[in-house]
Amino acid sequence: MNRVARAAEARRTASREHAVVHRIAALLIEYPSVELLDLLPTIRAAAGELDRRFAAPLLQVVDHLGSRPLTELEAEYVTTFDLKRQRALYLSYYAYGDTRKRGVALVTFKQAYRAGGFEIAQEELPDHLAIVLEFAASGEAENWQAGIKLLLEHRAGLELLRLALQDMGSAYAGALVAVSATLPALRGEDREAVALLAAQGPPGEDVGLEPFAPPSYMPDPRATDVAAPLQGARR
C-alpha cells in the first residue's frame, strides 16, 4: 500500500469507536502497575460499550490482568516483551532492525506527534506501540487518521507481533487482535510483506524470526532464538 492509499484508508477507517479501542489497547500493553490495575473497572466498562469484535479480545486482557498479583504480571511482561526481539513493542524495529534507517523512521513518528500537538517524555522512543496507539486515540479526527496512518505504515510489524503473541498463548494478544480489527483486512502487498518479514527478519539481522503463521502462510520459516534483550516495556 503506497502513501496515498494509506492516507485514504486512514480517513476511511478513523472513527470514535476505533479511537476508544486504540486508547484501551494502549493502556493494556503498558508495563503493569498499581495504577493500571486500579483502572481495570473503568477499562472494562469502556470496553463493554464497544462492538463485540473489539470488546471480546480486549476483555480477555482485562480479565487476565485482574486475576493475577502485580509481581506475577510484572515478571510475565518482561518475559513476553523484553526477552524476545520477535515480540518487541517498537514498531520501526521490524521494518529497519538496528540499521540507520530506523533513526529516520523515528523522526517520522515525532513529526506526526508534533503536528498533532501530542507530547511524549523525552526518554521515550516514539515508535513504542503504546505511544502510537495513544496518539491514534488523542484529539479529534486528524490525529486519529495520522495515528492509523502510522499503524498502516508499520502493518507488517504489527501483525508479526500479534502472531507472535498468539503463538505463545499470551493474553496480551487480545490487545493486538482488537487493534488489527480496526484496520483494513490484509491483502496483496501487505500480506506478502508480513510473510517476507516473518521469514527473513528485520534488516541488519543475520537471523530470521520464529515462525508465527501456518506453513501455508509462511512457506519457508526459520526458527531462531535471539538471546539479546530488546527492552519492550514502557515504564
Give dist(CA 158, CA 190) in Å, integer.
11
What topology is assigned to 3-200 in CATH?
Answer: TorD-like (1.10.3480)
- In three-state secondary structure terms, 96 is helix
Look at residue 232 in the predicted model and tell me its pLDDT.
46
Residue identified by cell 486508547 is 23
Q: Which amino acid is at 36?
A: L
Question: What are the b/e assignments for 60-83, b being 16+ CB within 10 Å?
Answer: bbbebbeeeeeeebeebbbebbbb
Q: Could you state, in order of their start, the residue ranges of all structural domains in the chain?
A: 3-200
Q: Which residue has the cell 507488517?
A: 156
Helix axes 52-66, 173-181, angle to 10 degrees: 160
pLDDT computed for residue 85 by the predictor: 73
Number of helical H runs and strand E runs in the chain? 12, 0
Tens digit of pLDDT at every position of the chain (235 positions): 556 565 676 667 768 999 999 999 999 999 999 999 999 999 999 999 999 999 999 999 999 999 999 999 999 999 999 767 778 999 999 888 877 788 889 999 999 999 999 999 988 999 999 999 999 999 999 999 999 999 999 998 999 899 999 999 999 999 999 999 999 887 656 566 665 666 666 665 433 333 333 333 332 323 333 233 334 445 5
pLDDT for res 200: 62
Phi-psi region at 3: left, alpha or beta (left = phi > 0; alpha = psi -120 to 50): alpha
Please report, for residues 38, 111, 134, 165, 223, the alpha-carbon distance to residue 77 in angstroms, rounded to integers and kept in the order given: 18, 29, 19, 12, 22
Helix axis angle for 173-181 and 16-28, nearest 10°, is 160
Neighbours of 187 (CB within 10 A): 9
Query: Which of these, 140, 132, 89, 130, lies nearest to 109 by C-alpha position?
Result: 132
Q: DSSP of 110-123, one letter per residue?
A: HHHHHHTT----TT
pTM for this prediction:
0.80
